[in-house]
Amino acid sequence: MNERQEQLIRNVDKNKQLILDAEQYIWKHPQTGYTEWDAHNYLVEKYEALGYKLVLAGKIPGFGDIPGFYTDVDTGRPGPTLAIFGELDALDIANHPESVNGMTHCCGHHAQSAVLLGLAAAFKEPGALDGLCGKIRLIAVPAEEMIQLTFREELRKKGVINYMGGKVEFMYRGILDDVDLAIMVHGTSAGEGEPYDFICGFGNNGCMPKTIRFKGKSAHAGAAPHMGINAQYAAMLGLQAVNDLRETFQEKDTIRFHPIMLGVNCAVNIIPDEFRIESYVRGKTNEAIKRENIKVNRALTGAALAMGAGVELVDRPGYSPETHDPDFMKLVQKCCEDLVGADRVHFDYNQWSTGSSDFGDITCVMPGIQFNAAGITGTLHGIDFHVADTDRLLMNSAKAQLFVTDALLGNDAAAAKEIIANYKPQYASIKEYFAAIDDFILDKDAVVYDEDGNATVDFKNA
Ligand SMILES: [Zn+2]
Ligand SMILES: [Zn+2]
Protein backbone atom coordinates (compact mmCIF):
# COMPACT_ATOMS: atom_id res chain seq x y z
CA MET A 1 0.00 0.00 0.00
CA ASN A 2 1.35 3.42 -0.90
CA GLU A 3 1.04 6.75 0.89
CA ARG A 4 -1.80 7.91 -1.34
CA GLN A 5 -3.80 4.76 -0.59
CA GLU A 6 -3.23 5.30 3.13
CA GLN A 7 -4.66 8.79 2.73
CA LEU A 8 -7.72 7.40 0.92
CA ILE A 9 -8.30 4.94 3.76
CA ARG A 10 -8.18 7.77 6.29
CA ASN A 11 -10.68 9.73 4.15
CA VAL A 12 -13.12 6.83 4.48
CA ASP A 13 -12.42 6.10 8.15
CA LYS A 14 -13.15 9.73 9.08
CA ASN A 15 -16.67 9.21 7.75
CA LYS A 16 -17.33 5.84 9.36
CA GLN A 17 -20.20 7.03 11.55
CA LEU A 18 -21.96 8.67 8.60
CA ILE A 19 -21.78 5.36 6.70
CA LEU A 20 -22.92 3.22 9.63
CA ASP A 21 -25.83 5.54 10.42
CA ALA A 22 -26.99 5.48 6.80
CA GLU A 23 -26.77 1.69 6.70
CA GLN A 24 -28.94 1.45 9.80
CA TYR A 25 -31.47 4.03 8.65
CA ILE A 26 -32.02 2.49 5.24
CA TRP A 27 -32.10 -1.05 6.67
CA LYS A 28 -34.93 0.08 8.94
CA HIS A 29 -36.79 1.81 6.08
CA PRO A 30 -36.90 -0.82 3.32
CA GLN A 31 -39.00 -0.02 0.28
CA THR A 32 -39.29 -1.80 -3.05
CA GLY A 33 -38.40 -0.45 -6.48
CA TYR A 34 -39.71 2.97 -7.50
CA THR A 35 -41.12 3.59 -4.00
CA GLU A 36 -37.81 4.13 -2.15
CA TRP A 37 -38.72 7.62 -0.96
CA ASP A 38 -37.54 7.18 2.65
CA ALA A 39 -34.01 6.30 1.55
CA HIS A 40 -34.15 8.97 -1.16
CA ASN A 41 -35.18 11.74 1.23
CA TYR A 42 -32.65 10.68 3.87
CA LEU A 43 -29.81 10.63 1.35
CA VAL A 44 -30.80 13.89 -0.36
CA GLU A 45 -30.53 15.66 2.99
CA LYS A 46 -27.13 14.08 3.75
CA TYR A 47 -25.66 14.87 0.31
CA GLU A 48 -26.89 18.44 0.47
CA ALA A 49 -25.40 18.82 3.94
CA LEU A 50 -22.07 17.79 2.41
CA GLY A 51 -22.46 20.60 -0.13
CA TYR A 52 -23.55 18.61 -3.17
CA LYS A 53 -25.94 19.86 -5.80
CA LEU A 54 -28.11 16.95 -6.90
CA VAL A 55 -29.91 16.18 -10.12
CA LEU A 56 -33.10 14.39 -9.06
CA ALA A 57 -34.10 11.72 -11.59
CA GLY A 58 -37.77 12.49 -10.97
CA LYS A 59 -37.33 16.19 -11.75
CA ILE A 60 -35.75 15.81 -15.17
CA PRO A 61 -38.18 17.56 -17.54
CA GLY A 62 -40.39 15.24 -19.55
CA PHE A 63 -40.18 12.27 -17.19
CA GLY A 64 -42.25 10.94 -14.29
CA ASP A 65 -41.40 11.32 -10.62
CA ILE A 66 -39.27 8.47 -9.27
CA PRO A 67 -36.73 8.21 -6.44
CA GLY A 68 -33.01 8.48 -7.12
CA PHE A 69 -30.51 11.15 -8.11
CA TYR A 70 -26.96 11.79 -9.17
CA THR A 71 -24.25 14.28 -8.48
CA ASP A 72 -20.91 14.97 -10.11
CA VAL A 73 -17.61 15.22 -8.31
CA ASP A 74 -15.57 17.40 -10.65
CA THR A 75 -11.79 17.20 -10.37
CA GLY A 76 -11.56 20.43 -12.38
CA ARG A 77 -9.35 18.79 -15.00
CA PRO A 78 -10.60 17.32 -18.27
CA GLY A 79 -10.87 13.54 -18.45
CA PRO A 80 -13.30 10.63 -18.53
CA THR A 81 -16.40 10.36 -16.37
CA LEU A 82 -16.62 7.36 -14.04
CA ALA A 83 -20.07 6.38 -12.72
CA ILE A 84 -20.38 4.74 -9.30
CA PHE A 85 -23.76 3.26 -8.39
CA GLY A 86 -25.53 2.68 -5.10
CA GLU A 87 -28.89 0.88 -5.31
CA LEU A 88 -31.86 1.90 -3.16
CA ASP A 89 -34.43 -0.89 -3.31
CA ALA A 90 -35.52 -3.67 -0.96
CA LEU A 91 -37.51 -6.87 -1.55
CA ASP A 92 -40.88 -8.25 -0.50
CA ILE A 93 -40.03 -10.97 2.01
CA ALA A 94 -42.56 -10.87 4.80
CA ASN A 95 -41.07 -13.81 6.72
CA HIS A 96 -37.75 -12.11 7.37
CA PRO A 97 -37.66 -11.48 11.15
CA GLU A 98 -36.74 -7.82 10.63
CA SER A 99 -39.15 -7.12 7.80
CA VAL A 100 -40.93 -3.75 7.82
CA ASN A 101 -44.32 -3.72 6.07
CA GLY A 102 -43.36 -7.08 4.55
CA MET A 103 -40.06 -5.82 3.09
CA THR A 104 -36.36 -6.07 3.94
CA HIS A 105 -33.05 -5.25 2.34
CA CYS A 106 -32.23 -8.93 1.97
CA CYS A 107 -30.10 -8.19 -1.08
CA GLY A 108 -28.03 -5.63 0.83
CA HIS A 109 -28.72 -2.64 -1.40
CA HIS A 110 -29.02 -0.44 1.67
CA ALA A 111 -25.30 -1.03 2.24
CA GLN A 112 -24.49 0.17 -1.28
CA SER A 113 -26.34 3.43 -0.70
CA ALA A 114 -24.60 3.95 2.65
CA VAL A 115 -21.21 3.37 1.02
CA LEU A 116 -22.00 5.75 -1.84
CA LEU A 117 -22.77 8.44 0.72
CA GLY A 118 -19.45 7.63 2.40
CA LEU A 119 -17.68 8.10 -0.94
CA ALA A 120 -19.41 11.45 -1.38
CA ALA A 121 -18.07 12.49 2.03
CA ALA A 122 -14.59 11.10 1.34
CA PHE A 123 -14.36 13.07 -1.92
CA LYS A 124 -14.88 16.26 0.13
CA GLU A 125 -11.84 15.56 2.35
CA PRO A 126 -8.80 17.77 1.76
CA GLY A 127 -6.59 16.43 -1.00
CA ALA A 128 -9.11 13.77 -2.00
CA LEU A 129 -9.03 14.73 -5.67
CA ASP A 130 -5.32 15.46 -5.88
CA GLY A 131 -3.78 13.98 -8.99
CA LEU A 132 -7.14 13.00 -10.53
CA CYS A 133 -8.77 14.19 -13.72
CA GLY A 134 -12.26 13.85 -15.16
CA LYS A 135 -15.43 13.47 -13.14
CA ILE A 136 -16.98 10.96 -10.79
CA ARG A 137 -20.74 10.64 -11.10
CA LEU A 138 -22.29 9.25 -7.91
CA ILE A 139 -25.65 7.69 -8.77
CA ALA A 140 -28.26 6.63 -6.22
CA VAL A 141 -30.45 4.41 -8.36
CA PRO A 142 -33.87 2.80 -7.66
CA ALA A 143 -35.42 -0.50 -8.68
CA GLU A 144 -32.66 -3.01 -9.35
CA GLU A 145 -34.80 -5.97 -8.32
CA MET A 146 -37.10 -6.96 -11.18
CA ILE A 147 -40.23 -7.53 -9.09
CA GLN A 148 -43.87 -6.44 -8.83
CA LEU A 149 -44.22 -6.65 -12.59
CA THR A 150 -47.90 -5.74 -12.54
CA PHE A 151 -47.25 -2.61 -10.44
CA ARG A 152 -44.41 -1.54 -12.73
CA GLU A 153 -46.53 -2.11 -15.79
CA GLU A 154 -49.10 0.24 -14.24
CA LEU A 155 -46.36 2.84 -13.68
CA ARG A 156 -45.33 2.39 -17.29
CA LYS A 157 -48.86 2.89 -18.55
CA LYS A 158 -49.20 6.05 -16.44
CA GLY A 159 -45.97 7.37 -17.94
CA VAL A 160 -44.16 7.45 -14.58
CA ILE A 161 -41.51 5.08 -15.92
CA ASN A 162 -40.59 3.77 -19.33
CA TYR A 163 -38.59 0.70 -18.28
CA MET A 164 -38.84 -1.78 -15.41
CA GLY A 165 -35.24 -1.51 -14.17
CA GLY A 166 -33.84 1.60 -12.51
CA LYS A 167 -30.53 1.74 -14.37
CA VAL A 168 -32.28 1.18 -17.69
CA GLU A 169 -34.70 3.98 -16.79
CA PHE A 170 -31.76 6.22 -15.83
CA MET A 171 -30.13 5.46 -19.17
CA TYR A 172 -33.39 6.35 -20.90
CA ARG A 173 -33.40 9.67 -19.02
CA GLY A 174 -29.93 10.49 -20.34
CA ILE A 175 -28.14 10.12 -17.01
CA LEU A 176 -25.46 7.85 -18.53
CA ASP A 177 -25.08 9.77 -21.80
CA ASP A 178 -21.81 11.42 -20.92
CA VAL A 179 -20.42 8.61 -18.75
CA ASP A 180 -17.44 6.60 -20.01
CA LEU A 181 -17.12 3.71 -17.57
CA ALA A 182 -18.79 2.42 -14.42
CA ILE A 183 -18.30 0.45 -11.23
CA MET A 184 -20.42 -0.79 -8.39
CA VAL A 185 -20.00 -3.08 -5.42
CA HIS A 186 -22.69 -5.56 -4.33
CA GLY A 187 -22.69 -7.28 -0.97
CA THR A 188 -22.16 -11.00 -0.78
CA SER A 189 -22.08 -13.87 1.60
CA ALA A 190 -18.66 -15.40 0.95
CA GLY A 191 -19.81 -18.65 2.55
CA GLU A 192 -18.91 -20.32 5.82
CA GLY A 193 -15.18 -20.24 6.43
CA GLU A 194 -14.35 -18.67 3.08
CA PRO A 195 -11.55 -16.19 3.45
CA TYR A 196 -12.46 -13.78 0.67
CA ASP A 197 -13.23 -10.11 1.20
CA PHE A 198 -13.76 -9.41 -2.50
CA ILE A 199 -15.17 -11.64 -5.20
CA CYS A 200 -15.81 -11.04 -8.88
CA GLY A 201 -16.88 -13.23 -11.77
CA PHE A 202 -16.80 -12.65 -15.51
CA GLY A 203 -20.50 -11.97 -15.93
CA ASN A 204 -24.09 -13.04 -15.55
CA ASN A 205 -27.31 -13.81 -17.37
CA GLY A 206 -29.71 -11.28 -18.75
CA CYS A 207 -33.41 -11.60 -18.05
CA MET A 208 -36.75 -10.75 -19.57
CA PRO A 209 -39.82 -10.34 -17.35
CA LYS A 210 -43.15 -11.81 -18.40
CA THR A 211 -46.66 -11.54 -17.10
CA ILE A 212 -49.06 -14.22 -18.25
CA ARG A 213 -52.83 -14.11 -17.73
CA PHE A 214 -54.90 -17.18 -18.51
CA LYS A 215 -58.51 -16.36 -19.20
CA GLY A 216 -61.40 -18.80 -18.61
CA LYS A 217 -65.05 -18.59 -17.68
CA SER A 218 -66.52 -18.72 -14.20
CA ALA A 219 -69.22 -21.21 -13.24
CA HIS A 220 -70.49 -23.10 -10.19
CA ALA A 221 -67.64 -25.49 -9.36
CA GLY A 222 -69.96 -28.16 -7.93
CA ALA A 223 -73.21 -27.88 -9.82
CA ALA A 224 -72.06 -26.80 -13.29
CA PRO A 225 -68.33 -27.08 -14.00
CA HIS A 226 -69.27 -27.95 -17.58
CA MET A 227 -70.43 -24.34 -17.98
CA GLY A 228 -66.99 -22.97 -17.06
CA ILE A 229 -63.48 -22.84 -18.47
CA ASN A 230 -60.86 -23.39 -15.78
CA ALA A 231 -58.08 -20.79 -16.13
CA GLN A 232 -56.11 -22.37 -13.29
CA TYR A 233 -55.95 -25.74 -15.03
CA ALA A 234 -54.87 -24.02 -18.25
CA ALA A 235 -52.07 -22.28 -16.31
CA MET A 236 -50.94 -25.55 -14.72
CA LEU A 237 -50.89 -27.23 -18.11
CA GLY A 238 -48.89 -24.33 -19.53
CA LEU A 239 -46.24 -24.59 -16.84
CA GLN A 240 -46.10 -28.36 -17.32
CA ALA A 241 -45.47 -27.83 -21.03
CA VAL A 242 -42.64 -25.37 -20.33
CA ASN A 243 -41.14 -27.80 -17.82
CA ASP A 244 -41.17 -30.50 -20.51
CA LEU A 245 -39.29 -28.13 -22.82
CA ARG A 246 -36.46 -27.61 -20.34
CA GLU A 247 -34.31 -30.36 -21.81
CA THR A 248 -34.36 -28.47 -25.12
CA PHE A 249 -32.66 -25.50 -23.45
CA GLN A 250 -28.97 -25.87 -24.24
CA GLU A 251 -26.35 -25.56 -21.50
CA LYS A 252 -24.46 -22.91 -23.48
CA ASP A 253 -27.45 -20.57 -23.19
CA THR A 254 -27.89 -20.97 -19.36
CA ILE A 255 -31.66 -20.47 -19.68
CA ARG A 256 -33.75 -20.06 -16.53
CA PHE A 257 -37.55 -19.95 -16.29
CA HIS A 258 -38.90 -19.61 -12.76
CA PRO A 259 -42.58 -18.72 -12.65
CA ILE A 260 -44.58 -17.75 -9.60
CA MET A 261 -48.31 -18.40 -9.67
CA LEU A 262 -50.16 -15.35 -8.42
CA GLY A 263 -53.35 -17.31 -7.94
CA VAL A 264 -57.02 -16.69 -8.41
CA ASN A 265 -59.46 -13.96 -7.49
CA CYS A 266 -62.49 -16.05 -6.60
CA ALA A 267 -63.98 -18.42 -4.05
CA VAL A 268 -63.19 -22.11 -3.85
CA ASN A 269 -66.62 -23.09 -5.21
CA ILE A 270 -66.13 -21.12 -8.42
CA ILE A 271 -64.34 -22.27 -11.56
CA PRO A 272 -61.52 -19.70 -11.81
CA ASP A 273 -61.96 -17.41 -14.79
CA GLU A 274 -58.52 -15.83 -14.45
CA PHE A 275 -55.09 -17.04 -13.39
CA ARG A 276 -51.98 -14.86 -13.39
CA ILE A 277 -48.33 -15.89 -13.50
CA GLU A 278 -45.14 -13.81 -13.38
CA SER A 279 -41.85 -15.17 -14.61
CA TYR A 280 -38.55 -14.34 -16.24
CA VAL A 281 -36.76 -15.99 -19.07
CA ARG A 282 -33.06 -15.59 -18.33
CA GLY A 283 -30.16 -16.43 -20.60
CA LYS A 284 -26.58 -15.81 -21.57
CA THR A 285 -27.35 -13.58 -24.57
CA ASN A 286 -30.29 -11.45 -25.60
CA GLU A 287 -30.54 -13.61 -28.73
CA ALA A 288 -30.87 -16.81 -26.67
CA ILE A 289 -33.50 -15.24 -24.43
CA LYS A 290 -35.53 -14.16 -27.46
CA ARG A 291 -35.22 -17.55 -29.15
CA GLU A 292 -36.20 -19.68 -26.12
CA ASN A 293 -38.93 -17.26 -25.07
CA ILE A 294 -40.77 -18.03 -28.31
CA LYS A 295 -40.93 -21.68 -27.25
CA VAL A 296 -42.17 -20.70 -23.79
CA ASN A 297 -44.91 -18.54 -25.30
CA ARG A 298 -45.86 -21.29 -27.73
CA ALA A 299 -46.24 -23.76 -24.85
CA LEU A 300 -48.40 -21.36 -22.84
CA THR A 301 -50.53 -20.65 -25.90
CA GLY A 302 -50.94 -24.36 -26.63
CA ALA A 303 -52.09 -25.01 -23.07
CA ALA A 304 -54.71 -22.29 -23.30
CA LEU A 305 -55.94 -23.72 -26.60
CA ALA A 306 -56.11 -27.23 -25.16
CA MET A 307 -58.50 -26.01 -22.47
CA GLY A 308 -60.55 -23.68 -24.66
CA ALA A 309 -59.13 -20.80 -22.64
CA GLY A 310 -57.37 -17.62 -23.65
CA VAL A 311 -53.99 -16.28 -22.60
CA GLU A 312 -52.55 -12.80 -22.57
CA LEU A 313 -48.79 -12.64 -22.96
CA VAL A 314 -46.96 -9.51 -21.86
CA ASP A 315 -43.18 -9.45 -22.38
CA ARG A 316 -41.02 -6.48 -21.49
CA PRO A 317 -37.34 -5.60 -21.80
CA GLY A 318 -35.56 -6.70 -18.63
CA TYR A 319 -31.83 -6.72 -18.02
CA SER A 320 -29.16 -7.45 -20.57
CA PRO A 321 -26.40 -9.99 -19.89
CA GLU A 322 -23.53 -8.49 -17.89
CA THR A 323 -19.95 -8.95 -19.02
CA HIS A 324 -16.83 -7.60 -17.38
CA ASP A 325 -13.90 -6.38 -19.40
CA PRO A 326 -10.93 -8.55 -18.31
CA ASP A 327 -8.46 -5.64 -18.34
CA PHE A 328 -10.81 -3.61 -16.16
CA MET A 329 -11.20 -6.65 -13.88
CA LYS A 330 -7.42 -6.84 -13.51
CA LEU A 331 -7.24 -3.22 -12.42
CA VAL A 332 -10.02 -3.71 -9.87
CA GLN A 333 -8.46 -6.94 -8.63
CA LYS A 334 -5.12 -5.19 -8.05
CA CYS A 335 -6.86 -2.44 -6.06
CA CYS A 336 -8.65 -5.00 -3.88
CA GLU A 337 -5.39 -6.88 -3.34
CA ASP A 338 -3.62 -3.66 -2.35
CA LEU A 339 -6.30 -3.13 0.28
CA VAL A 340 -6.72 -6.59 1.85
CA GLY A 341 -4.00 -8.83 0.38
CA ALA A 342 -4.09 -11.23 -2.56
CA ASP A 343 -5.18 -14.21 -0.44
CA ARG A 344 -8.46 -12.44 0.42
CA VAL A 345 -9.41 -11.61 -3.15
CA HIS A 346 -10.96 -14.07 -5.59
CA PHE A 347 -11.48 -12.90 -9.17
CA ASP A 348 -12.58 -15.66 -11.53
CA TYR A 349 -12.25 -14.63 -15.17
CA ASN A 350 -14.47 -17.49 -16.39
CA GLN A 351 -17.20 -17.63 -13.77
CA TRP A 352 -20.73 -17.07 -15.11
CA SER A 353 -23.65 -16.46 -12.79
CA THR A 354 -27.26 -17.18 -13.74
CA GLY A 355 -28.60 -14.24 -11.75
CA SER A 356 -29.23 -10.93 -13.48
CA SER A 357 -28.68 -7.23 -12.86
CA ASP A 358 -29.43 -4.04 -14.74
CA PHE A 359 -25.73 -3.30 -14.39
CA GLY A 360 -25.60 -5.64 -17.40
CA ASP A 361 -27.31 -2.95 -19.44
CA ILE A 362 -24.53 -0.56 -18.49
CA THR A 363 -21.87 -3.05 -19.67
CA CYS A 364 -23.68 -3.29 -23.03
CA VAL A 365 -22.57 0.24 -23.85
CA MET A 366 -19.47 0.97 -21.74
CA PRO A 367 -16.83 -0.88 -19.73
CA GLY A 368 -18.15 -1.71 -16.27
CA ILE A 369 -17.34 -3.93 -13.30
CA GLN A 370 -19.70 -5.08 -10.59
CA PHE A 371 -17.72 -6.78 -7.87
CA ASN A 372 -18.74 -8.15 -4.49
CA ALA A 373 -17.75 -7.30 -0.94
CA ALA A 374 -18.19 -9.90 1.80
CA GLY A 375 -19.69 -9.23 5.19
CA ILE A 376 -23.13 -10.78 4.87
CA THR A 377 -24.22 -14.01 6.50
CA GLY A 378 -27.19 -16.11 5.48
CA THR A 379 -28.73 -16.13 2.04
CA LEU A 380 -29.16 -13.31 -0.44
CA HIS A 381 -32.95 -12.99 -0.90
CA GLY A 382 -33.38 -15.27 2.14
CA ILE A 383 -35.05 -14.85 5.53
CA ASP A 384 -31.69 -15.45 7.25
CA PHE A 385 -29.98 -12.55 5.44
CA HIS A 386 -28.00 -10.49 7.93
CA VAL A 387 -25.21 -7.90 7.84
CA ALA A 388 -22.53 -9.53 9.96
CA ASP A 389 -19.42 -7.46 9.34
CA THR A 390 -19.73 -3.77 8.55
CA ASP A 391 -15.96 -3.37 8.18
CA ARG A 392 -15.93 -5.80 5.27
CA LEU A 393 -19.27 -4.89 3.70
CA LEU A 394 -19.13 -1.12 4.10
CA MET A 395 -15.69 0.23 4.95
CA ASN A 396 -13.74 -2.13 2.69
CA SER A 397 -16.15 -1.50 -0.13
CA ALA A 398 -15.74 2.28 0.13
CA LYS A 399 -11.96 2.03 0.34
CA ALA A 400 -11.71 -0.32 -2.62
CA GLN A 401 -13.89 2.00 -4.70
CA LEU A 402 -11.62 4.95 -3.88
CA PHE A 403 -8.58 2.87 -4.85
CA VAL A 404 -10.25 2.00 -8.16
CA THR A 405 -11.21 5.63 -8.80
CA ASP A 406 -7.62 6.69 -8.18
CA ALA A 407 -6.20 3.93 -10.37
CA LEU A 408 -8.55 4.91 -13.20
CA LEU A 409 -8.46 8.69 -13.03
CA GLY A 410 -4.95 9.29 -11.67
CA ASN A 411 -1.94 9.69 -13.97
CA ASP A 412 -4.00 11.67 -16.51
CA ALA A 413 -6.52 8.81 -16.52
CA ALA A 414 -4.13 6.70 -18.58
CA ALA A 415 -5.66 3.44 -17.30
CA ALA A 416 -9.26 4.58 -17.83
CA LYS A 417 -8.47 5.82 -21.32
CA GLU A 418 -6.85 2.53 -22.28
CA ILE A 419 -9.80 0.49 -21.00
CA ILE A 420 -12.27 2.74 -22.83
CA ALA A 421 -10.27 2.64 -26.07
CA ASN A 422 -9.99 -1.15 -26.08
CA TYR A 423 -13.58 -1.90 -25.06
CA LYS A 424 -15.87 -3.36 -27.68
CA PRO A 425 -19.38 -2.63 -26.45
CA GLN A 426 -22.21 -4.89 -27.55
CA TYR A 427 -24.08 -1.84 -28.87
CA ALA A 428 -22.35 1.15 -30.45
CA SER A 429 -24.56 3.66 -28.65
CA ILE A 430 -27.25 3.92 -26.00
CA LYS A 431 -29.72 4.60 -28.83
CA GLU A 432 -28.79 1.37 -30.58
CA TYR A 433 -29.07 -0.51 -27.30
CA PHE A 434 -32.62 0.75 -26.73
CA ALA A 435 -33.64 -0.24 -30.24
CA ALA A 436 -32.43 -3.78 -29.48
CA ILE A 437 -34.17 -4.16 -26.12
CA ASP A 438 -37.43 -2.63 -27.37
CA ASP A 439 -37.61 -5.64 -29.62
CA PHE A 440 -38.61 -7.68 -26.54
CA ILE A 441 -41.92 -5.84 -26.15
CA LEU A 442 -44.85 -8.15 -26.76
CA ASP A 443 -48.56 -7.72 -25.98
CA LYS A 444 -50.60 -10.59 -27.35
CA ASP A 445 -53.99 -12.07 -26.81
CA ALA A 446 -52.51 -15.32 -28.03
CA VAL A 447 -55.64 -17.41 -28.71
CA VAL A 448 -58.68 -15.96 -30.45
CA TYR A 449 -61.78 -18.09 -31.09
CA ASP A 450 -64.32 -17.48 -33.85
CA GLU A 451 -68.06 -18.15 -33.68
CA ASP A 452 -67.58 -21.79 -34.67
CA GLY A 453 -64.99 -22.34 -31.95
CA ASN A 454 -62.05 -22.41 -34.33
CA ALA A 455 -58.99 -20.74 -32.97
CA THR A 456 -56.26 -18.52 -34.34
CA VAL A 457 -53.03 -18.46 -32.38
CA ASP A 458 -50.53 -15.60 -32.41
CA PHE A 459 -47.72 -15.57 -29.85
CA LYS A 460 -44.83 -13.99 -31.74
CA ASN A 461 -43.78 -10.54 -32.78
CA ALA A 462 -44.01 -10.18 -36.55
ZN1 LIG B 1 -31.20 -9.14 -5.37
ZN1 LIG C 1 -28.90 -7.08 -5.32
| Residue 1: per-residue pLDDT | 87
pLDDT of residue 191: 65
Question: How many whole angstroms from 79 Cα to the centroid of ligand 1?
Answer: 33
Residue 242 has pLDDT above 90, yes or no: yes
Q: Is residue 165 domain-resident?
A: yes
Same domain? 34 vs 160: yes
CA of 212 to the centre of ligand 1 (A): 23
Q: Which of 104-118, 152-166, 183-197, 372-386 has the lowest mean pLDDT?
A: 183-197
Give pLDDT, residue 116.
98
- State the distance from the centre of ligand 1 to the C-alpha of 179, rounded, in angstroms: 25
- Residue 144 Cα to ligand 2 midpoint, Å, equals 7
Would you say residue 86 lies in a domain? Answer: yes
Compute, in angstroms, the gap from residue 106 CA to the centroid of ligand 1.
Answer: 7
Whether residue 279 sits in one domain with residue 328: no
- pLDDT tens, position by position, 295-318: 999 999 999 999 999 999 999 999
Q: Are residues 251 and 154 in the same domain?
A: no
Q: How far apart are CA 404 and CA 399, in angstroms?
A: 9
Residue 415: pLDDT above 70? yes
Checking if the pLDDT of 190 tops 80, the result is no
Mean pLDDT of all residues in the chain? 96
What value does the mean pLDDT take over residues 27-32? 98
- Asked if the structure places residue 432 within a domain, the reply is no
pLDDT value of position 301? 98
**Residue 110 counted as domain residue:** yes
Ligand nearest to the CA of 186: 2
Same domain as 97, residue 171: yes
C-alpha 90 – ligand 2 centre gap (Å)? 9
CA of 87 to the centre of ligand 1 (A): 10
The pLDDT assigned to 11 comes to: 98
Q: How far is the CA of 258 from the centre of ligand 1 (A)?
A: 15
Distance 91 CA to ligand 2 centre (A): 9
Distance 77 CA to ligand 2 centre (A): 34
| Averaged pLDDT, 30-40 | 98
Could you tell me the CATH number of the domain that includes residue 446?
Answer: 3.30.70.360
- In this structure, which ligand is nearest to the CA of 113? 2
Q: Do 93 and 146 reside in the same domain of the chain?
A: yes
pLDDT of residue 107: 97
For residue 131, the CA-to-ligand 2 centroid distance in Å is 33
Domain that holds residue 53: 3-204+321-426
Is the domain of 354 the same as that of 384? yes
Give me ligand 2 centre to Cα 157, in Å.
26
Residue 362 reports pLDDT greater than 70: yes
pTM score = 0.93
66 and 196 fall within a common domain: yes
Ligand 1 midpoint to CA 452 (Å): 48
Q: Output the CA 109–ligand 2 centroid distance in Å.
A: 6
Centre of ligand 2 to C-alpha 221, Å, is 43
Q: In this structure, what CATH number is given to the domain that contains residue 133?
A: 3.40.630.10
What pLDDT does 325 receive? 96
pLDDT digits (tens, 9 = 90+) for 369-398: 999 999 999 999 999 999 999 999 999 999
Flag whether 462 is in a domain.
Answer: no
Q: Do 404 and 284 reside in the same domain of the chain?
A: no
- CA–CA dist 396, 196 (Å, integer): 12
> 431 lies in a domain?
no
pLDDT at 409 over 90: yes
- Is pLDDT of 192 > 80? no
Q: Which ligand has an atom closest to residue 147 CA? A: 1
Q: How far is the CA of 51 from the centre of ligand 1 (A)?
A: 31
Name which residue leads in pLDDT, 129 or 194: 129
What is the pLDDT, as a whole number, of residue 312? 98
- Distance (Å) from CA 143 to ligand 2 centroid: 10
Residues 110-127 have pLDDT tens digits of 999 999 999 999 999 999
Query: pLDDT of 420-433, one tens digit each?
Result: 999 999 999 999 99
Note the pLDDT of residue 194.
73
pLDDT of residue 195: 86
Residue 74: inside a domain, yes or no? yes
Q: State the distance from the centre of ligand 2 to the C-alpha of 26, rounded, in angstroms.
A: 15
Query: Which ligand sits closest to the CA of 382?
Result: 1
Tell me, in angstroms, the distance from the centre of ligand 1 to residue 188's CA. Answer: 10
Classify residue 15: in a domain, yes or no: yes
Report residues near ion ligand 1: CB below 5 Å. 107
Tell me the C-alpha distance between 233 and 19, whole Å: 51
Q: Quote the ligand 1 centre to 129 CA distance (angstroms).
A: 33
Distance 261 CA to ligand 1 centre (A): 20
Which residues hold their Cβ within 5 A of ligand 2, which is an ion? Answer: 107
pLDDT digits (tens, 9 = 90+) for 325-336: 999 999 999 999
